A and B are shown apart, each in its own frame.
Chain A
């Protein structure tokens, strides 16, 4: 196949880009080194985030796309429309829940405030004494590795996947593979997650390590994706380690427990002190977790940009290269919106929301 576009990386972002480009009539070659990435390590929460207008636009557009795709997705993508409960521990956080509802409302996103009693009815496993919650019913979850494979399969003959490692991007945009061979196409998309800086060291991307733990099957323990409202403040410190309460009910009945954030560690080892901190935080909200059996814990690396928004658009000086990187802890959610935006820009279309906030920025100048 003579490809119109080569996508580097078959994680959820690369797969979504290939899918959107194929829908736009392009023949796409996807190169993946099969070294794995964040897509296989994350939680798969599809969540509207509203830290800033650009994040809200991208995440709400994306969750709407996931909802539209969901009825066609295979069972193994494990999509569930469980919604999110943003838990308010006290009156202060309840006031934040109200402000959040206002922001979502202004953007046309449905949400509902639950008082203490309604929250206790919705999630009896939560500890007593919580102030309430904001429910966002349009949020969901999925199993990202299978969703990525599904997106690629939707391309039919228009998408070909080759298992190969890209070793370098040459000045004219030609790709040099690890085996010494070369690949070229009129347009290249860089979507290889945390590995992006090995091919483009100028990218302003840092690793943010996260721990996760999954329990045995206990169906019905929890009904919604549960996140503490304090998450927004704890997760977005630009430095230092943090943990936040975040529990996801898997369709199997397992509970996936997150989340921790550590900057600049690339060691994949599970660190007992960090895991303990994270689980202690989870126990503060769901005391009954202590009696459950954990099956596995692991870590993953988020690709973080300084302002938390992904880099989506044409590379300022590398010929033919387009960027779809830096999705941090939200890339499963934002993959379809990112792909829509990038595919529109690459094919001369007009994206459904403003592309300016995501345009590649903060790149270090090419060293002489």
Chain B
């Protein structure tokens, strides 16, 4: 399958291969791919990649979702600040 998907991460336009997870898009957008900040202020990034660790929580179109369990869709808006 060819093609690309264009989405917004924290206001920045990011282009990924179609079918990529939002966790992958976070890496494309910003190096380590930080998803959120813990209560003690530490940055957290996707860890398990399979929906278990809950470290990859982000807002996707206004709702809290797991980045590793969500496939990028055209025009999707992802926000990592919590």
List residues of chain A with CB under 8 Å of any chain B CB. Answer: 216-217, 252, 291-293, 295-296
Contacts and interface: CB of A to CB of B under 8 A. Distances in A.
Given A252-B39, A293-B57, A295-B54, A217 B63 contact: no
Given A217-B39, A293-B65, 13 more contacts: A216-B54, A216-B57, A216-B64, A217-B82, A252-B39, A291-B63, A292-B64, A293-B57, A293-B63, A293-B64, A295-B54, A295-B57, A296-B54
Contacts of B39: 217, 252
Nearest to B39: A252
15 contacts: A216-B54, A216-B57, A216-B64, A217-B39, A217-B82, A252-B39, A291-B63, A292-B64, A293-B57, A293-B63, A293-B64, A293-B65, A295-B54, A295-B57, A296-B54
B32 to A, nearest CB: 21
Contacts, number: 15
Nearest to A216: B64
A271 B65 CA distance: 23
Interface string B49-82: 0000010010000011100000000000000001
A309 B79 CA distance: 50
A293 B69 CA distance: 13
Nearest to A254: B39
A34 B37 CA distance: 30
Nearest to A295: B54
A194 B68 CA distance: 38
Contacts of B63: 291, 293
Contacts of A295: 54, 57
Contacts of A296: 54
Contacts of A216: 54, 57, 64
A216 B82 CA distance: 10
A292 B64 CA distance: 7
A185 to B, nearest CB: 40
Nearest to B38: A252
